[in-house]
Chains A and B, each alone.
Chain A
Amino acid sequence: MIPLSWYLIFSAALFSTGLFGVLARKNAIAIIIGIELMLNAVNLNLVAFWRYITPDAITGQVFAVIVFAVAAAEVAVGLALIISIYRRRNTIIAEEIDMLKF
């Protein structure tokens, strides 16, 4: 039997990995890859809590399905923005996209 703590440590490590990617990467697409890892860690936590704490209520899985939908929406809009920026500025390096900065 696997204790709940293993899943929680696993997903904490996965979340931190994603956070490192978001903070340290230059390329905007690589930042989106980090965000995907973070969303996956959250999903893993939701499903683990569903299985260990409330296996009779299905709430955790429903939440995870909705996180799937939101992640798909987020990545579609994010990549569309990146492609649009690439067309106008010819770069997707986050540091060089500074039009709003004085």
Chain B
Amino acid sequence: MTALQIVFFIVAVVTIFAGLMAVTVGNLVHAALWLILSLFGVALSFGLLSAGFLAVAQVIVYIGAIAILIIFAIMLTRRVATDIGSQINSGWPWAAVIAFVLCGGLIWMLREWPGFSTLPPQMSARADSLSMLGMALVSPNAYVIPFEVASVLLLAALIGAIIIAWERK
């Protein structure tokens, strides 16, 4: 094993363990903190895939915004988070079976695919993925329309969230 493989292995194990804790632990605030660790592991994986911008965006958007939003929502509904005994459905074995079958099925299906064990191609030295991404997001020949649609969707969703959560007297 090379050093890179060992780093990937540690990151993957920590991320999946944190994800498992996030979906099983009883206290919801702890679940949110485990979620943060898991999201951080995914950010590190983006770094390993040489997508530096996405790693930074993952930390800012997911850990900085989404996880904090989830923690605030847990605090606003605090009584529920602590008072009921079990946080898990009575039908959880079925959920575990479905998750296992899905994971195994995905891996089994992917093993049939010839590109399964591709090694990463060498990134050409002058190709800068950050400036390529920046150009692609604003160039009319590339993805400016999806980018604008995504920003309008985000604006609409935020206004909608304010209206839904508004307290009517």
Contacts and interface: CB of A to CB of B under 8 A. Distances in A.
A52 interface: yes
Contacts of B143: 62
A15 B100 CA distance: 11
Of listed B62, B91, B94, B119, residue having the most chain A CB within 10 A: B62
A4 B31 contact: no
B4 A1 contact: yes
Interface in B96-143: 96, 98-100, 102-103, 106-107, 110, 115-121, 123-124, 127, 129, 132-133, 136-137, 142-143
A76 B61 CA distance: 12
Interface string A1-25: 1111111111011111111110111
A100 B50 CA distance: 47
Is the interface on chain B under 10, 10 to 19, 20 to 34, or 35 or more residues? 35 or more
A61 B54 contact: yes
Nearest to A32: B70
B69 A76 contact: yes
Interface string A28-64: 0110111011001001100110111101101101101
Q: Is the interface of A mostly helix, strand, loop or mixed?
A: helix
A82 B23 contact: no
The majority secondary structure among interface residues of chain B is: helix
A75 to B, nearest CB: 5
Contact of B150 (A26, A66, A74): A66
A13 B16 contact: yes
A40 B42 contact: yes
Given A66-B147, A80-B160, A37 B35 contact: yes
14 contacts: A2-B4, A3-B119, A5-B117, A17-B20, A18-B23, A24-B95, A27-B28, A29-B77, A62-B136, A70-B150, A76-B158, A80-B164, A87-B167, A91-B80
Interface of A: 1-10, 12-21, 23-27, 29-30, 32-34, 36-37, 40, 43-44, 47-48, 50-53, 55-56, 58-59, 61-62, 64-66, 68-77, 79-84, 86-87, 91-93, 95
Which 4 pairs from chain A and chain B are nearest by CB? A21-B23, A73-B157, A23-B95, A80-B161
Given A20-B23, A52-B120, 18 more contacts: A3-B118, A17-B20, A19-B102, A20-B96, A24-B95, A24-B96, A26-B84, A29-B73, A30-B31, A40-B39, A47-B49, A55-B127, A55-B129, A61-B51, A69-B154, A79-B69, A86-B76, A91-B80
